[in-house]
Amino acid sequence: MKMTLAPRVAHLEASATEELENAVKRMQVSGVDDILSLGVGEPCFDTPRNIVLAAQEALSQGVTKYQPTAGAPELREAIANKLRSQNRIPVGVDEVLVTPGAKFAVYLAFQAVLEPGDSVLLLDPSWVSYAAIATLMGAGVVRVETKEMEGYQPDPEAVHRAWGDHVRLVVVNSPCNPTGAAYDKTSIRAIAELALTRGAYLLSDEIYERLLFEGEPYSPASEFSHVITVNGFSKTYAMTGWRLGYVTAPREVLQGMLKLCQHSTSCVTAFAQAGAVAALRAEESEAAVREMLDGYRRRRAKMLDVLSRSESLHCREAQGAFYCFASYDFDRQSVQLARALLEHVHVATVPGAAFGPCGENHLRLSYAGSEDVIGEALSRIEDYLGRGT
């Protein structure tokens, strides 16, 4: 017998964002020391000090043992309180599962509800991992275009027309990675109602909920019982490396996800959960979040200002997250363009095609870095594109 990878893994596409970061690190190791990144969506801010101290204190007190698979009771209580007060989702402590990152919560949800032959409906362009995880589950992907000229807002009628008999799950990510669009509440509600009538779950990925610069966040689970709500600490609290996410879902789905955790991760890092409690409960954390949001507003304004004067790139004003999804109208694939920018001017961007067919002829540009990096990186890009190379 020939030893080979399982086909579902062998044919799985690598994450474009992770591959980009790996390429940048390889170049840095080889001696390239002037790379500027507008690529990976990671806050430039440090984790607020009070959160770090809470984790250190827990570590010093010996909080290093296994925790309950669903999460430390104190953290689950803090999350449930947050979901009730901020998102108006009526959940109890036993309806919350803490996960090693929000991405793993998405993975668990897909694994819990999908069978081979099922389909996931995505609003295109969409985050790179949704389609990959669906493929890993043996599920198909149905993509519904969101249009740049319409602010990337979803069209419920288009969703209805595209809906097939095998759609088991529809994903809504608002604010959206990569477009930064915050979806209209009426549209989300209409899609949720459609999913309910067709016997499908709706997964609401709310990881960027606090990074919203226009309008108010809306959690469909506040009104509908068939919604899987995913969130985490990475973006809001600059805790990417802590790997802390959480999910609430219909009871049968949550129980399935819990069993998957029991046979995979067992639990989330004990002392890290103490830091997450401080993130949700301490006023110092909230003050730090407000300060970071002010910083993102300045960076967003700077990037939009530079792009508004660009002769090569065009971008609508995004309402949330920390991305601009810049389009261009010359004939070059986005993967080729992103590679050229990294190779020739040492600027890292993410090719729009990584986010689905509707992302072609776009670059995702993150403004989560410093203002100086944003200005210099965009200047290098404009200079390169202006040379017609």
Structure confidence by residue, pLDDT tens digits, 157-182 = 999 999 999 999 999 999 999 999 99
**Distance between CA 381 and CA 333 in Å, rounded?**
16
Q: Is the domain of 17 the same as that of 58?
A: no
**Distance between CA 57 and CA 79 in Å, rounded?**
21
**Distance between CA 228 and CA 225 in Å, rounded?**
9
The answer to whether residue 216 sits within a structural domain is yes
The answer to whether residue 2 sits within a structural domain is no
The answer to whether residue 31 sits within a structural domain is yes
pTM, whole model, 2 decimals? 0.93
Q: Is the domain of 295 the same as that of 270?
A: no
User: Which domain range does residue 74 map to?
Assistant: 49-282
Q: Is the domain of 232 the same as that of 102?
A: yes
Domain boundary residue among 282, 297, 317?
282
Q: Is the domain of 160 the same as that of 227?
A: yes
**Distance between CA 322 and CA 16 in Å, rounded?**
17
The answer to whether residue 189 sits within a structural domain is yes
Sequence-distant contacts of 22-25: CB under 8 A, at least 24 apart: 23/342, 23/348, 24/342, 24/348
Cα dihedral 316→322→328→331 (10° resolution): -150
Q: Rg (Cα) of the chain, in Å, rounded? A: 21
Cβ-contact 246, 96 below 8 angstroms = yes
Domain boundary residue among 244, 266, 282?
282
Q: Give the DSSP letter of residue 263.
A: T
Query: Torsion-angle region of residue 199: left (phi > 0), alpha (psi -120 to 50) or beta?
Result: left
pLDDT in the model for residue 326: 95
CATH number at residue 204: 3.40.640.10
Peptide bond between residue 175 and the one before it cis (omega within 30 degrees of 0): yes
Q: What percent of the chain has pLDDT over 70?
A: 99
**Distance between CA 307 and CA 301 in Å, rounded?**
10
Q: Is the domain of 276 the same as that of 326?
A: no
pLDDT in the model for residue 215: 84
Q: Is the domain of 344 the same as that of 376?
A: yes
Query: Torsion-angle region of residue 152: left (phi > 0), alpha (psi -120 to 50) or beta?
Result: left
Q: What is the pLDDT of residues 89-145, one digit of tens each?
A: 999 999 999 999 999 999 999 999 999 999 999 999 999 999 999 999 999 999 999
**Distance between CA 355 and CA 368 in Å, rounded?**
19
**Torsion over CA: 33, 39, 41, 43 (sign):** positive
Q: What's the domain count of the chain?
A: 2
3-state class (DSSP) for residue 301: helix
Q: Is the domain of 196 the same as that of 254?
A: yes
Domain boundary residue among 216, 247, 282?
282
Q: Where are the beta strands (DSSP E) in the chain?
A: 36-37, 97-99, 119-124, 140-145, 167-173, 201-205, 227-232, 245-248, 323-327, 347-348, 350-351, 362-366
Q: Which stretches of the chain score pLDDT less than 50?
A: none
Q: Is the domain of 92 the same as that of 70?
A: yes
The values of phi and psi at residue 37, to 5°, are -110, 125
**Distance between CA 334 and CA 316 in Å, rounded?**
18
Q: Is the domain of 85 the same as that of 111?
A: yes
Q: Is the domain of 53 the same as that of 172?
A: yes
CATH number at residue 294: 3.90.1150.10
The answer to whether residue 336 sits within a structural domain is yes
Cβ-contact 133, 109 below 8 angstroms = no
Q: Is the domain of 164 the same as that of 107?
A: yes
Nearest alpha carbon to residue 124 among 315, 288, 357, 285: 357
pLDDT in the model for residue 389: 61
The answer to whether residue 60 sits within a structural domain is yes
The answer to whether residue 278 sits within a structural domain is yes
Q: Is the domain of 19 the same as that of 129?
A: no
The answer to whether residue 1 sits within a structural domain is no
Q: Give the DSSP letter of residue 12.
A: P
